[in-house]
Amino acid sequence: MANILSDVEVIDRIFHHIDNKTTDLGDNDWQEPTSNYSCPDRFAREQALFKRLPLPFCPVAALPDVGSYVARLAAGVPIVAVRGEDGVIRAFRNACRHRGVKLAEGQGCTKSFVCGYHGWMYHLDGRLRHIPAEKGGFPGLDREAHGLVPVTVTERAGLIWVTQEEPVTDGAFADLPDLIGPEQVMIDAVEFEFDVNWKLFAEAGMEGYHIKMTHRESFYPYGFDNLNVIETYGPNSRIIFPFKRIEKLRDVPREDWKIDGLVSSGYHLFPNVMVVMLSHHTAVQIAEPISPTHTKYIRYRLTNRGTDGSPEVIAKAKRDAEFVANTGNIEDRDITLKIQQGIASGANSHFTYGRFEKAIVHFHKSMDRMLAKMN
């Protein structure tokens, strides 16, 4: 469990920053080569690292029933996660053991996986179930050797994690906080793709230095510019963005202080996932790098912790999610597209991240340290 600040400690720090016009600062700046946002060799090394880390694949809430599955790329590899008849969630390489056809796409619920090419069928636990005309075409086939190929699954912090190869480190598991509770209801999942390196969009969620300029009409009227509480733990970080309405707590006894609904809390889970707790919903955003300059995003949206999943709560969560998607997310998308395009100008050999960008500096230091383990 991460040793993060309590609600009271967070609010004390926020009030200190409001009163003194300050924010949390890092200990040093960082220069990141711009080639790391477009270089094919660097991209290949990052993908290799992804395969050797536990990576969040989806929320547990995305697999509520027996047969519920999620199929998508993870580090460029087709993977399918499914809840078995015994209630256990497993994950497999998403390929038929006959001719390699992908067995599942997107999300759904099934009783078995059936190959669309020749009809080979698999149980939810990966065992080979049926081969059409098996006696004539495949006499003596070793069924046990032709089940779906598993990958390691871990359930932690309300998320399903997949590790594809021998891990070089426990990655985001280091001091992982409790994030998503069993009472949270998934309201939807959306996918989108940008022509950006996967790290750029993540960086936009790791600092508040850009709030006034980038989010002038969306977030800024409700919050502060360049006022954040930033904590790092393991390779991860938590970035808190307070709303102006937190001032109401000055008249509330300290023992009753809670940050719920008064801040946005962004948890960066190394390397490619953001879990953001907003006013009325929680978003789990997974970046799936496709190429050095193209990324697919999968965003799961859920109700918040401590809510009852009633129609009213779900309706509020949907409105909150759509506001964020149609304003702040678009603004961050547009600015990161311009950064990616600007890299091609050759104007910058490095990007300089300053003391206001503590979480980004921590991320790049962690990335360099992890990549060094691959050598």
Q: What is the pLDDT of residue 155?
A: 96
Q: Is residue 87 located within the same domain as residue 17?
A: no
* 84 and 31 both lie in a single domain: no
One domain, residues 214 and 279: yes
CATH classification of the domain holding 316: 3.90.380.10
Q: Which amino acid is at 179?
A: L
Query: What is the DSSP-derived secondary structure letter of residue 223?
Result: B
Radius of gyration of the chain (CA): 22
- The total domain count for the chain is 2
Instruction: Specify whether 141 is located in the same domain as 275.
Output: no
- β-pairing, 294-302 vs 186-194, is antiparallel
Which of the listed residues 119, 152, 185 is the one where a domain comes to its end?
A: 152
The verdict on 124 and 14 lying in the same domain is no
CATH number assigned to the domain comprising residue 122: 2.102.10.10
Instruction: Specify if 168 maps to a domain.
Output: no
* Residue 171 one-letter amino acid: G
Domain stops at, among 118, 152, 186: 152
Residue 251 covered by a domain: yes
Identify whether 46 is part of a domain.
yes
Helices marked H in 56-207 — which ranges? 134-137, 198-204
Domain shared by 247 and 104, yes or no: no
Rounded CA gap, 361 and 232, in Å?
A: 11
The pairing of strands 121-122 and 113-114 is antiparallel
Look up residue 179 and give its two tokens. Answer: 């994030």
The pLDDT value given to residue 1: 54
User: What is the predicted pLDDT for the residue at 112?
Assistant: 98
**299 and 338 within one domain:** yes
* Residue 198: per-residue pLDDT: 97
Same domain, 237 and 137: no
Domain of residue 78 covers 64-152
Indicate if 99 and 46 belong to the same structural domain. Answer: no
Cβ-based neighbour number of residue 155 at 10 Å: 12
pLDDT digits (tens, 9 = 90+) for 108-161: 999 999 999 999 999 999 999 999 999 999 999 999 999 999 999 999 999 999
Secondary structure element (H or E) that encloses residue 41, with its range:
helix 40-51
Q: Structure pTM? A: 0.95
Q: For 318, what's the count of Cα atoms within 13 Å in the CB-facing half-sphere?
A: 9
Q: How many CB atoms lie within 10 A of CB 252?
A: 11
Query: What is the greatest pairwise CA distance in the chain?
Result: 81
Query: Do 46 and 69 belong together in one domain?
Result: no
CA 127 to CA 360: how far, in whole Å? 43
Q: Are residues 118 and 254 in the same domain?
A: no
Q: Of 198, 174, 372, which is closest to residue 273 (Cα–Cα)?
A: 198
Could you say which residues of the chain have pLDDT below 50?
Answer: none
Is residue 157, in this structure, part of any structural domain at all?
no
Shared-domain flag, residues 324 and 246:
yes
CA gap 343, 327 in Å, rounded: 25
Burial of residue 78, with CB atoms counted within 10 A of its CB: 0-12 exposed, 13-18 middle, 19 or more buried: middle
CA–CA distance from 41 to each of 35, 46, 270 (Å)? 10, 9, 20
Residue 163 is assigned to a structural domain of this protein: no
Report the pLDDT value the prediction gives residue 159, as an integer from 0 to 100.
97
- pLDDT, tens only, 180-221: 999 999 999 999 999 999 999 999 999 999 999 999 999 999
Residue 332 lies in a domain: yes
The amino acid that residue 317 corresponds to is: A
